[in-house]
A and B are shown apart, each in its own frame.
Chain A
Amino acid sequence: MSRELSFAQAIQEALATAMEADERVFIMGEDIGVYGGAFQVTGDLVHRFGEDRVMDTPISELGAAGVAVGAALAGSRPILEFQFSDFATLAMEQIVNQAAKLRFMLGGKVSVPLVMRLPCGSGTGAAAQHSQSLEAWLAHVPGLKVVQPSTPHDAKGLLLAAIDDPDPVMIFEHKLLYKIKGDVPEEAYRVPIGKAAIRREGRDVTIVATAIMVHRALEAAEVLAGEGIEVEVIDLRSLRPLDKETIIASVMKTSRLACVYEGVKTLGIGAEISAMIAESEAFDFLDAPILRLGGAEVPIPYNPVLEKAAVPQMENIVEQVRNLARGKI
């Protein structure tokens, strides 16, 4: 049975499902208990599972991340919520130097099965320190897995897959997505980590997009379809591991690639995808330069007009992808 849930509700359902099924699973984070979480994702879970399994933490991301890594090493299945993914910068030592490395440094004798949930992205007026898209930072680190769902369905399925995973998985949740609704099956299904989804098929241009950009790309594709340009939209879903096969196959079909992502353009996920295509068998099939639409090279501004201008909008995608399809770049 499937019904309509919001992105936030789908995550909450995944958390509850996992905690019901497995006593080792617990969640922790700032204000996730009685307050219900900064974005009301955990809601009333504290009343259902108690404060031992829905644990409020002090305002110390490094401390909380250290607890999560230790608990994972000791056999628990911790899920740590950050209020904003921006605060992961405070926990970098635990994420990058401990969680990502211990399996390798200890010869595979341990693993760190933890999940971190990281609300990210701009568009809420939260300014420079609460609006970043840092997913490419963490996707640069071997030992971590990094996923970014764009639908309620995938939010639940990827979270359950992440909880099952024996290694640390970072889930970046775009804040503008929490309220969107979509069909979510009741049962405990998994969306495989490392597998992209083709959201729309087309023959002229491939757009590889992440998170909120998937929705903007789909809207842009609809506009462009009216002009006779058929866009294929790939929802990347996983940044690490990267689903190279799906992207390569699509580019070999369309011969044109646009990467659309909210993170800063330079050295972002679009750079990786572009380079991957240039190295692949799809290179010989390119009939135009690769296009990247990423965030502007500035901290996200507070001014709402500038905030909007700092990341790709639907209109930008339409214009640039039209130019790409028409051979103007």
Chain B
Amino acid sequence: MATEVIMPKVDMDMATGKISKWHVAEGDAVKKGAPLFEIETDKAAMEIDAPADGVIRNISAAEGAIVPVGTAVAFIYAPGEAVTQVSKPVDQSQPATRPDAGKNSGSLAVPASGYFRATPLAKRLARQSGVSLKDVSGSGPRGRIVMADVKAAVVKPLQVLPQHDMVPVDSMRRTIAQRLTRSKQTIPHFYLTVTCDLTNLLNIRESLNAKAPLGSDKSALWKLSINDFVIKALALSLKQTPEANATWTDDFIQRHHASDVGVAVAIAGGLMTPVVRSAETKTLSQISTEVKDLAARARSRKLLPSEYQGGTTAISNLGMYGIEEFTAIINPPHATILAVGAAIENFVAVNGQPVLRSQMKCTLSCDHRVVDGAVGAKLLQAFRSFIEEPALMLA
């Protein structure tokens, strides 16, 4: 039987080899151990010796051809042995010399017959892990694919995943995760959105801020923000809609007398929600001063538990980040939370004419166990009137 002459694997990483020179020609008699051809790899050039005595036949890779490891490039026949064409010539232009041949070190173990040179275990593992043997480079003799090669091919995609850091979970993070997960999983949320016109509010704010008296240190006693108006408006709306100022317990519904409004404050590594108690009874400047103080102490993590526990509703304002609208997760024991977007100038139709107006979108998340759709809508309707006619807050 004829002896196969294959492209040998002379280097661990070698996937293909280039035949740089043949020392023999078709029909030449060769001696075992005599040089047959020269190969070039990425790293080295070397001579390949004849594996047997006989006559060289069926040379299938010409000089310059790049051939996958394990591929038969010729056969050595015993003198007088019948010559059969057992392998198709290696096509020099493709696939071996395709530009991407190196990337997909593929078809390395494929002899001309089209079968993969792979162990049963390698084939089985490839089947199970959905790896195509043509994507696997064989490390065994004559390019045979063994289990370790398939395993390496399976693992490869993982190796290109980005690195990541392990950030320890502190108690605040864990509390946020647990509370919000429980809220979102157990509270049936629904969402209502309104667009509020800010024209009047901005005018009043400007005027109030401009006329703020100076304190002993010559600085203005207040600088009201839109959010201060939002807090007061929501607190008064809850007073008008007492059904929504409530907390669900499994046995009864707590209906709260005061509107205690939590204000979400982003701090390093999480957020806190200090509560402005009985906000409906406080003036805008009182609210403004209180919120500034609570937020500053939240950031330095100096709040007392009594300052952030409880509450009946909350406000999350992402307007300063340019967020137009969003939905927030209710923070128990609250029944609602108001997600406040940015003040944005839009053209609106006034008497059939486009007029530029500042608008703000607010989305109320409601706990449907205590706040039905109409109740939530009533609350939001009241809120909108307070925002659009801030003078009502004085009534």
Q: Which residues of A contact B (CB under 8 A)?
A: 255, 283-288, 327-329
Contacts and interface: CB of A to CB of B under 8 A. Distances in A.
B139 interface: yes
Nearest to B140: A327
A287 B122 contact: yes
Interface of B: 119-124, 139-141, 146-148
Given A285-B120, A327-B148, 13 more contacts: A255-B119, A255-B121, A284-B123, A285-B124, A287-B119, A287-B121, A287-B146, A287-B147, A288-B146, A327-B139, A327-B140, A328-B141, A329-B141
A33 to B, nearest CB: 56
A329 B119 CA distance: 12
Contacts of B148: 327
B121 A286 contact: yes
A319 to B, nearest CB: 16
B119 to A, nearest CB: 5
9 contacts: A284-B121, A285-B120, A285-B121, A287-B120, A287-B121, A288-B119, A288-B140, A327-B140, A328-B141
A255 B141 contact: no
A287 B151 CA distance: 12
Nearest to A323: B141
A322 to B, nearest CB: 14
Given A327-B140, A328-B141, A329-B141, A283 B146 contact: no
Nearest to A286: B120
Contacts of B146: 287-288, 327
Contacts of A285: 120-121, 124
Nearest to B123: A284
A327 B123 CA distance: 16
Given A286-B119, A327-B140, A328-B141, A255 B147 contact: yes
Contacts of B140: 288, 327
A285 B125 CA distance: 9
A6 B124 CA distance: 47
Given A327-B140, A328-B141, A329-B141, A284 B147 contact: no
B99 to A, nearest CB: 31
Nearest to A282: B120
B208 to A, nearest CB: 81
A259 B128 CA distance: 29
Contacts of A329: 141
A246 to B, nearest CB: 20
With most chain A CB atoms within 10 A of its CB, the pick from B121, B141, B146, B147 is B121
Contacts of B147: 255, 287
A324 to B, nearest CB: 11
A329 B141 CA distance: 6
A250 to B, nearest CB: 14
A123 B146 CA distance: 38
A328 B120 CA distance: 16
A284 B124 CA distance: 6
B77 to A, nearest CB: 25
A288 B141 CA distance: 10
Contacts of B122: 287
A101 B123 CA distance: 45
Nearest to B119: A287
B37 to A, nearest CB: 23
A283 B119 CA distance: 10
Contacts of B121: 255, 284-287
The 7 A-B residue pairs whose C-beta atoms are closest, nearest first, are: A287-B121, A287-B147, A284-B124, A287-B119, A286-B120, A327-B140, A284-B120
With most chain B CB atoms within 10 A of its CB, the pick from A255, A283, A284, A327 is A327
With most chain B CB atoms within 10 A of its CB, the pick from A287, A288, A327, A329 is A287
A329 B146 CA distance: 11
Contacts of B120: 283-287
